[in-house]
Amino acid sequence: MRIQLLTAALIFVCAASSGAVLAGDSPLSAVKQEIKLTKVTPQYWRVTFHNPPYNIYGPETMPQLNEVVTAIESDPKLVVVVFDSDVPDFYLTHYDFVPPLTDTTSMPNGPTGLPPLPDMLVRLSKAPVVSIVSIQGRATGVGSELALASDMRFASREKAILSQWEIGAALVPGGGPMARLPRLMGRGRALEVLLTGNDINGELAERYGYVNRALPDAELDTFVDTMARRIARFDKQSIADIKRLVDAASLPPNEAIASEWEGFIGSVKRPAAQARIKQLMELGLQTKADVEKRLAHYTGTLGEESK
């Protein structure tokens, strides 16, 4: 079991590609639903992360998210999609470290030629549909990377926490934050987020440009829903053309995202990463709420005994 845990640690960032059985309208398969799809109108969908207690994602949910992204890309009427969560305190967190590495590495590359996680994030960014994230809870690692790949980000001032926590486990993030964050907040702030692994609350995330706006928690749902309904009334082709032109000026090239994945794979093979993931699991990662909620605190304590 210990070997499996350490091996599984080598793949955690794949999480961003995890997650999505369509619920609400029609389940896509008999497996556990970890993502729900609600078609509010033909033009406006909501995708809800639902894997309590911590919204941890693993290889079994990879095909689910892929089905959602494929549906978003191909639906002729869809104009706007909102990604949210119904798990209190957690938006979308890190990878499930228990399954063996082969559960993920055996998956084929996606349509872009990239591995599953970067493939789905790149496709989401370039889809002819407006993607909005509504963050009420912790968006850590994969959750942050999905938010960064989406077109707009809105956060609860009181409840949202964003982070790229990987440095605390001696890992290099693999889902695109090195390519995306500097474009949003500048080099210095991007390095602050990536090299400290600290939690960024909603107010600071807005100030840094990590999110578009931070709103009072009681107002967030209504604000996002109103915006989504407004956009959903507009012409799909014009929206797709505007997105394409903005993408050309602002998105990183696919090669930059691919390089991050390679950097991640290289980092997870190092003994330091395996040792730190093992320490975190022993502290209660994936089993204790305090560890999941205060991950920055726990990663900051690792390795102290060796100094």
Q: Residue 22's pLDDT is what?
A: 45
> What's the 3-state SS for the chain?
CHHHHHHHHHHHHHHHHCCCCCCECCCCCCCCCCEEEEEEECCEEEEEECCCCCCCECHHHHHHHHHHHHHHHHCCCCCEEEEEECCCCEEECCECCCCCCHHHHCCCCCCCCCCHHHHHHHHHHHCCCEEEEEECCEEECHHHHHHHHCCEEEEECCCCEEECCHHHHCCCCCCCHHHHHHHHHCHHHHHHHHHHCCCEEHHHHHHHCCCCEEECHHHHHHHHHHHHHHHHCCCHHHHHHHHHHHHHHHCCCHHHHHHHHHHHHHHHCCHHHHHHHHHHHHHCCCCCHHHHHCHHHHHHHCCHHHC
Q: Residue 15's pLDDT is what?
A: 35
Q: Residue 264's pLDDT is what?
A: 85
Consecutive 10-residue averages of pLDDT for the chain (307 residues): 38 35 43 91 97 88 91 98 97 82 80 93 98 97 96 98 96 95 98 98 98 98 98 98 97 95 86 93 94 94 62
pTM listed for this prediction: 0.88
Q: Residue 4's pLDDT is what?
A: 41
Q: Residue 122's pLDDT is what?
A: 97
Domains and CATH numbers, the chain: 2-298 (3.90.226.10)
